[in-house]
Structure 1
């Protein structure tokens, strides 16, 4: 019964008095659903937080609890959630910064806009996890910069991710220039050095990653710090570029995606022995046309696909690539940036690869959209099928010509009518079962198509929540042997009020 009550708790048309009854019996699952109700009153929110304390955090994030509703001594986690949303009392932070629960101090350290005295307490916290959290999330450059020089290597690692860390401090983390050596790391905190953690460690209480090592130089944490700084866009390009020849492939790969790479670093990474490095580089807009062409002709398919995603790839190269290889089924950045003239040229090209690429755009002029919808190539029709604005007649014609090859994509069209969805459901043979799931989710689906979807085990849960199902069918689904289907049906706004009342009779 609890799973059905949880479903009811998410039903958008559940009467207010029924919500009150669910608040009185709420467990964690029911409380999660109730906390997200758009019509939950302030009184119900306070009552729910009193019933299930964990829900107070969600309610605070949702704006259903305010500072006036929360006593930080009773609901400290909700108080932190309000501080995280910028809706709490700053005075709370000064108290919570000294909370005996380390986990709470960690959550507090991630909150924005904390008072400076609370920040100072957190920065001096005896637990490195708390200080690391502050280093990771603070938006104060002076705090992040100071923590980048912290004696503990793990705090420096966190600061290396933070885009608020000053560029000079990030550069120092990479070069070591002007930065005193770290004195501790997570490895030497726990083990006698030199130590290398066994990758096959069987100790269930051990949380050190496999391969974590320290010989006094804190090399494992230092490597992670390098990687974080290389991925940080605030790190100066000249400091990052020094790693183009680093022995670590992971660090070269972290560098390869930076859009501010200088040409000499691009050229060096383009010759990298690791396909992963060349793949990340191939999508980098820092590449010149020659290197993009080289990447597009690479034997490795991952490198070619990355080159296709490069926003600066020449159109002729991209069209040639799409004609010979699979380059994905989404709108590519270079196609999204096409001018009106380029768009028309692609849409009217004799090359189906060119037409397929541009058919993924959702802002095509109506004449080009309709032209592509009638394309003889199924790949082109499939790409344009979700485009808004296609008429019922064009969608039905497309389905009639290309059958299962376009069914699933046509079912995602926001303008698909009930007649189109009925036809898709009729044609959705086992090879096109995904189309039934899309039909079951479509707001325009009606009884005929939805009943077909209910007969498919994968589409059934989606159909069970569709408000166009007849009320008597929804009431029957509440007794479905699949508890997920039953719960979904209980959340369906088409569920009759008397069926809701029957489910709540035991409350």
Structure 2
């Protein structure tokens, strides 16, 4: 991927306009055609308008059409615009979608049913194969792919099905392809309990911890793991679904705020309201963290976790639930020490009013957040635009009601120009002049 030119150069300044929320789509398309590296900037936009998606889907450059297929901010319906693309490489990307590089933070983004019908009939084996492998493909589509005329597609679709239906397995046990039959036979076999027991006694604590999460372990083995010398194993066994709160409390485990815990799927994928409620109100912080990963939590339980004493519970809630409360989104931005600290800023629920009380904070990030308050008084905006902190001045350079003279000064300052180029009230004539300077 080509690098974007430094923003101090005319081409770099033009590329910096890409993330301006008010940039007209026509201007964006001109920048994409002319600036090396600009497509890489667009790929990480949090959201794509339908107009931009339609323009990219019909662009003559297949690289830009593929961008629409892989960008995390593109919705399934927007990606579906590509399923009939003349270029098989573009259709492959559309069938696969964005790569789930962060499993718990990238929501599944399936395409509409009619789009998958087109994919299932695609003449290119590679397109159907990518659909079989995609993290975003719904189970019913993957099950349909087990009937594909190509053996590789049938085999991969079966491998990726988490719980293959009995009729699917029965049909594939008689498949004409030997490798498909081998997979079907393996997926049809009952669990190897001897292997489970060997794992539970393995000298490696990571393997014992994995075994401790196995729902098929005999009770006597679970009882042995409860007293395992390694805390990771005791944490894992303490989150088994059959335990009562009293039994969990009797286990000698500890979870620090910075500990990374693998959340059990019986919680993260739970749809039973009683199971979810039990975990939300559990004294076990690991179960509450796991519940926060569940995107189907009802509003009353979201409200409970938003007040949880464990910061990681609140953080996970903002990253995993589609409707986190405004207060918890703000709290995470103010308190988080993780690289994902600012991810919640573009969430529709992030507060856009009531932030002026942060103007006198000793934390420069907190003062900068005032730039997001659409009701902030003009005099406060002017004051923070002169703040001693460069971080605060960069935040204020984006404020929609910034005095035009101050905005002009920010545009002339190499330290603030990139932020100022993202001001939604950037004069149209300045945008055109910037593009003209870059020869666009």
Could you say if the C-alpha distance between residues 40 and 497 of structure 1 is closer, same or farther in structure 2, counting changes exceeding 3 Å? same
Residue of structure 2 in register with 1:121 after alignment: 150
Residue of structure 1 in register with 2:274 after alignment: none
Unaligned stretches of 5+ residues in structure 2? 1-9, 98-108, 268-276, 315-324, 336-340
Alpha-carbon distance between aligned partners in 2 of 1:387 and 1:75, rounded to the nearest angstrom: 39
Give runs of aligned pairs for residues 74-223 of structure 1, distance below 5 A.
75-78=90-93, 80-81=95-96, 85=111, 86=113, 87=115, 90=118, 95-97=123-125, 99=126, 107-111=130-134, 112=137, 113=141, 116=145, 119-123=148-152, 135-136=159-160, 141=165, 169=188, 171-172=190-191, 174-175=192-193
Residue 435 of structure 1: how far off its partner (Å): 2.4
Could you say if the C-alpha distance between residues 471 and 249 of structure 1 is closer, same or farther in structure 2, counting changes exceeding 3 Å? same
Alpha-carbon distance between aligned partners in 2 of 1:47 and 1:16, rounded to the nearest angstrom: 13
Scaled by the length of structure 2, the TM-score of the pair is 0.56
Deviation track 1:414-437 (CA, whole Å, cap 9, x = no partner) reads 66855xx444222x22xx344235
Q: Tell me the C-alpha RMSD between the 2 structures.
A: 5.8
Could you say if the C-alpha distance between residues 456 and 285 of structure 1 is closer, same or farther in structure 2, counting changes exceeding 3 Å? farther
Deviation track 1:232-290 (CA, whole Å, cap 9, x = no partner) reads xxxxxxxx577544444223212334578665444222111111111223344432344
Does the alignment pair 1:470 with 2:403?
A: yes
State the SS of the aligned residue for 1:255. Answer: helix
Could you say if the C-alpha distance between residues 416 and 471 of structure 1 is closer, same or farther in structure 2, counting changes exceeding 3 Å? same
Alpha-carbon distance between aligned partners in 2 of 1:332 and 1:81, rounded to the nearest angstrom: 27
Indicate conservation of the 8 Å contact 1:243/1:251, yes or no. Answer: yes
Residue of structure 2 in register with 1:52 after alignment: 64
Alpha-carbon distance between aligned partners in 1 of 2:259 and 2:75, rounded to the nearest angstrom: 47
Matching residue within 27, 35, 42 for 2:54: 42
Indicate conservation of the 8 Å contact 1:422/1:449, yes or no. Answer: no
Could you say if the C-alpha distance between residues 19 and 260 of structure 1 is closer, same or farther in structure 2, counting changes exceeding 3 Å? same
Alpha-carbon distance between aligned partners in 1 of 2:260 and 2:31, rounded to the nearest angstrom: 51
Does the alignment pair 1:9 with 2:9?
A: no
State the SS of the aligned residue for 1:39. Answer: helix
Indicate conservation of the 8 Å contact 2:200/2:208, yes or no. Answer: yes
Indicate conservation of the 8 Å contact 1:4/1:503, yes or no. Answer: yes
Residue of structure 1 in register with 2:38 after alignment: 29
Residue 91 of structure 1: how far off its partner (Å): 6.7
Give runs of aligned pairs for residues 294-443 of structure 1, distance below 5 A.
294-295=250-251, 298=253, 318=283, 357=309, 386=327, 421-426=355-360, 428-429=361-362, 432-442=363-373
Alpha-carbon distance between aligned partners in 1 of 2:14 and 2:147, rounded to the nearest angstrom: 42
Alpha-carbon distance between aligned partners in 1 of 2:291 and 2:55, rounded to the nearest angstrom: 49
Alpha-carbon distance between aligned partners in 2 of 1:416 and 1:2, rounded to the nearest angstrom: 32
Alpha-carbon distance between aligned partners in 1 of 2:83 and 2:253, rounded to the nearest angstrom: 62
State the SS of the aligned residue for 1:481. Answer: coil
Alpha-carbon distance between aligned partners in 2 of 1:495 and 1:90, rounded to the nearest angstrom: 42
Residue of structure 2 in register with 1:452 after alignment: 384
State the SS of the aligned residue for 1:66. Answer: helix
Residue of structure 1 in register with 2:86 after alignment: 71
Scaled by the length of structure 1, the TM-score of the pair is 0.50
Residue 71 of structure 1: how far off its partner (Å): 0.8
Higher relative contact order (CA 8 A, sep 6+): 2
Residue of structure 2 in register with 1:492 after alignment: 423
Q: How many residues align structurally? A: 351
Matching residue within 258, 264, 269 for 2:225: 269
Indicate conservation of the 8 Å contact 1:80/1:108, yes or no. Answer: yes
